[in-house]
């Protein structure tokens, strides 16, 4: 069975998970206290008006019927419409996805560029003061809540120094990079410590390995030794970790987008939850879930390509 079959089977395997997620989001919103029709209609609405809204939203039907209707729409790419703006949820998502993708992409690149050199350095000097210093600093950032770090960065570098905009996105790539810099850095500071510790221990494993000694014994050194003997062996664990961290990063995006007033999916999520705009909440949850599943699948494929011992079956 080739790689294609492997991917196909993994995608099929994800279907029950997706069904579970739709059920979960559906049930979760049933548990939220308050009646969306009442909220929407406002305090002075008549009984008939509330009934009409309820009917419009399909809330008068039985729960299973509501769920089946929901999944049916979903399969046609119809995520419903916002009860606030009346906009289709898909267009809200389409509009807001780029911001979040930019944010997460930049955060990922930044965090890896902090974690890899520092992790390698800590591994090389393990047990020494540099190793301890790196550990203390990274533990510090791990325990700092991202909204607080974001606020501090905002105060110092945006409001104080004025190097970055206080909020919002931009049109040109340069504007976007500037807009994304502080929020991405905030996220990166939050997620790099775990990457660093993981990469450090991978490097220590490789460094103490018999095969590295064997590679050295035949005269391999420097960049050649690094490329052929260290790189692949030290990165497989990192790829898996990054995929796992995606879930955290989406949660982080919710916080950071709010802090920096970025109109991404996370921000839309927060607004939708507080406005009881449940079609939007469901839609974004599903996008997040699909993204996490897809990224984990991609990570599995990459790891299988990096490490031949991982059987693709």
Confirm or reject binding of residue 210 to another protein (CB under 8 A).
yes
Site for another protein in 243-302 (CB under 8 A): none
Confirm or reject binding of residue 197 to another protein (CB under 8 A).
no
Per-residue interface string for the shown chain with another protein, residues 153-192, x marking contact by CB under 8 A: ----------------------------------------
- What DSSP string describes 121-160? HHHHTTTSHHHHHHHHHHHHHHHS-HHHHHHHHIIIIIII
Beta carbon of residue 193, minimum distance to another protein (angstroms, whole number): 25
φ, ψ at 88 (rounded to 5°): -65, 140
Confirm or reject binding of residue 219 to another protein (CB under 8 A).
yes
Confirm or reject binding of residue 228 to another protein (CB under 8 A).
yes
Question: Which of 10, 176, 232, 271: binder of another protein (CB under 8 A)?
Answer: 232
Residue 235 or residue 285: which is nearer to another protein going by CB? Answer: 235
37 close to 59: Cβ distance less than 8 angstroms: yes
Per-residue interface string for the shown chain with another protein, residues 56-85, x marking contact by CB under 8 A: ------------------------------
Structure tokens at 117: 């050199």
Beta carbon of residue 234, minimum distance to another protein (angstroms, whole number): 10
Beta carbon of residue 249, minimum distance to another protein (angstroms, whole number): 28
Question: Which of 138, 233, 245, 259: binder of another protein (CB under 8 A)?
Answer: 233
Beta bridge partners of 81: 88
Confirm or reject binding of residue 220 to another protein (CB under 8 A).
yes
- Piece of the chain touching another protein by CB under 8 A; list 52-60, 108-116, 158-166, 227-235: 227-235
72 close to 266: Cβ distance less than 8 angstroms: no
Q: How far apart are the first and last CA of the chain?
A: 7
Q: Cα(56)–Cα(58) distance, rounded to whole angstroms?
A: 5
Residue 170 or residue 215: which is nearer to another protein going by CB? Answer: 215
190 close to 141: Cβ distance less than 8 angstroms: yes
Beta carbon of residue 139, minimum distance to another protein (angstroms, whole number): 24
Q: Cα(20)–Cα(235) distance, rounded to whole angstroms?
A: 32
User: Among all chains, which residue has been given the structure tokens 């905030």?
Assistant: 186
Q: Cα(232)–Cα(215) distance, rounded to whole angstroms?
A: 14
Residue 30 or residue 213: which is nearer to another protein going by CB? Answer: 213
Question: Which of 24, 140, 163, 211: binder of another protein (CB under 8 A)?
Answer: 211
Beta carbon of residue 200, minimum distance to another protein (angstroms, whole number): 15
Side-chain-side CA neighbours of 109 within 13 Å: the count stands at 9
Q: Cα(272)–Cα(279) distance, rounded to whole angstroms?
A: 8
Beta carbon of residue 6, minimum distance to another protein (angstroms, whole number): 17
Confirm or reject binding of residue 132 to another protein (CB under 8 A).
no
With H, G, I as helix, E, B as strand and everything else as coil, classify residue 60: coil
Question: Which of 218, 222, 274, 313: binder of another protein (CB under 8 A)?
Answer: 218
From residue 167, alpha-carbon distances to 36, 43, 125, 162, 227 in Å are 31, 34, 40, 12, 41
**Footprint of another protein (CB under 8 A):** 209-220, 228-229, 232-233, 306-309
């Amino acid at each position: 069975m080739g790689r294609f079959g492997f991917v196909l089977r993994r995608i099929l395997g994800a279907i029950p998970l997706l069904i579970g997620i739709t059920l979960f989001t559906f049930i979760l919103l049933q548990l939220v206290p308050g009646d969306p029709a009442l909220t929407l209609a406002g305090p002075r609405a008549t009984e008939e008006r509330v009934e009409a809204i309820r009917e419009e939203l399909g809330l008068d039907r039985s729960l299973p019927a509501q769920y089946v209707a929901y999944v049916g729409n979903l399969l046609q790419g119809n995520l419903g419409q916002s009860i606030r703006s009346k906009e289709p949820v898909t267009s809200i998502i389409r509009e807001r996805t780029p911001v979040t993708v930019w944010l997460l992409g930049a955060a990922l690149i930044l965090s890896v560029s902090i974690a890899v050199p520092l992790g390698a350095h800590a591994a090389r000097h393990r047990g020494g003061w540099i190793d301890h210093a790196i550990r203390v600093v990274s533990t510090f950032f791990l325990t700092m809540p991202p909204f607080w770090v974001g606020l501090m960065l905002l105060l110092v570098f945006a409001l104080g120094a004025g190097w970055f905009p206080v909020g919002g996105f931009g049109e040109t790539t340069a504007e976007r990079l500037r807009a994304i810099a502080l929020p991405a850095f905030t996220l990166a500071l939050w997620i790099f410590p775990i990457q660093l510790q993981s990469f450090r221990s991978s490097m220590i494993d490789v460094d103490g390995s018999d095969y590295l000694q064997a590679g050295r014994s035949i005269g391999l050194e420097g960049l050649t030794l690094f490329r052929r003997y260290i790189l692949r062996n030290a990165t497989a664990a990192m790829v898996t970790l990054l995929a796992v961290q995606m879930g955290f990063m989406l949660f982080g995006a919710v916080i950071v987008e709010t802090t920096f007033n970025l109109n991404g999916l996370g921000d839309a999520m927060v607004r939708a939850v507080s406005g009881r705009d449940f079609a939007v909440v469901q839609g974004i949850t599903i996008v997040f879930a699909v993204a996490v599943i897809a990224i984990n699948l991609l990570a599995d494929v990459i790891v299988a390509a990096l490490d031949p011992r991982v059987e693709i079956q």
